[in-house]
A = this chain, B = another copy of it.
Amino acid sequence: MKLYTYFRSSAAYRVRIALALKGIAYEAVPVHLLRGGGEQLADAYRQVNPSALVPTLEDDNGVVIGQSLAILEYLEDTHPATPLLPADAAGRAHVRELALTLVADSHPLGNLRVLKYVKGELGQSEDTKLAWQRHWLHAGLATFEAMLARAGSSGTYCHGDQPTLADCCLVPHLFSARRFDVDLAPFPALVRIDAACAQLPAFQVAHPSRQPDAE
């Protein structure tokens, strides 16, 4: 099993957490998003993943998958021990809704290619770009916190007392939010869950600072 990864990519970080929670060994293949204009944009990587985004998983049967959430679902399908989705359909729907709140509606807006467009084509300053990043990171967290409150099903983790895909997505999002100085005071439930996750070895080994390509 190979994972094309970048230490600071939220999307790759989600997958690293799931691999660790499930105890799946893998080889990390670093793709440097900034060096040489971006290794993810090179033909060699585009042949692996036409989206030119990390992560990509390549398993031992030659299955190649991009999109972090598709990878998480694939790991769940193929390694069902240590489940990361609840056993009931309503619970699964809630966990996926939480994950997508960050994966679809918040994270992509702060992606490198989007930030380049905001600074380049839209001619915005570094400060305006940072405000944009913070705005969408914050928006995702605010919705997530409100959804937890509405559902009333969080426990030690986002949904009950076992980590799920929602936690795999939340922790990297909070890492980015801290990196860009988003105020986390309005999100006490998320900060509490993040602290619980940080106690688990799987979340520790997946952390950006522990990756072979960490800077």
Residue positions of A touching B, CB distance < 8 A: 46, 50-53, 61, 63, 65-67, 69-71, 73-74, 77-78, 89-90, 92-94, 96-97, 99-101, 103-105, 107-109, 111, 114, 117-118, 121-122, 124, 128, 131-132, 135, 143, 146-147, 149-150
In the complex, A199 Cα to B69 Cα: how many Å?
31
Q: Judging by beta carbons under 8 Å apart, are A93 and B117 in contact?
A: no
Q: Judging by beta carbons under 8 Å apart, are B105 and A105 in contact?
A: no
Q: Judging by beta carbons under 8 Å apart, are B69 and A100 in contact?
A: yes
Q: Judging by beta carbons under 8 Å apart, are B53 and A73 in contact?
A: no
Q: Which residues of B contact A99 (CB under 8 A)?
A: 70
Q: Judging by beta carbons under 8 Å apart, are A96 and B122 in contact?
A: no
In the complex, A23 Cα to B106 Cα: how many Å?
32
Q: Judging by beta carbons under 8 Å apart, are A67 and B128 in contact?
A: no
Q: Which residues of B contact A147 (CB under 8 A)?
A: 50-51, 66
In the complex, A10 Cα to B5 Cα: how many Å?
31
In the complex, given contacts A65-B93, A70-B100, A77-B92, what are 10 additional A-B residue pairs having Cβ atoms less than 8 angstroms apart?
A: A51-B143, A70-B94, A70-B96, A70-B97, A74-B90, A100-B103, A108-B108, A109-B109, A121-B132, A122-B132
**A interface, by DSSP: helix, strand, loop or mixed?**
helix
In the complex, A96 Cα to B111 Cα: how many Å?
20
Q: Which residues of B contact A122 (CB under 8 A)?
A: 118, 122, 124, 128, 132
Q: Judging by beta carbons under 8 Å apart, are A101 and B135 in contact?
A: no
Q: Which residues of B contact A109 (CB under 8 A)?
A: 108-109, 114
Contact of A104 among B69, B92, B118, B146 (CB under 8 A): B69
Q: Which residues of B contact A90 (CB under 8 A)?
A: 61, 63, 74
Q: Judging by beta carbons under 8 Å apart, are A93 and B114 in contact?
A: no
Rounded to whole Å, the gap between the CB of A158 and the closest CB of chain B is: 14
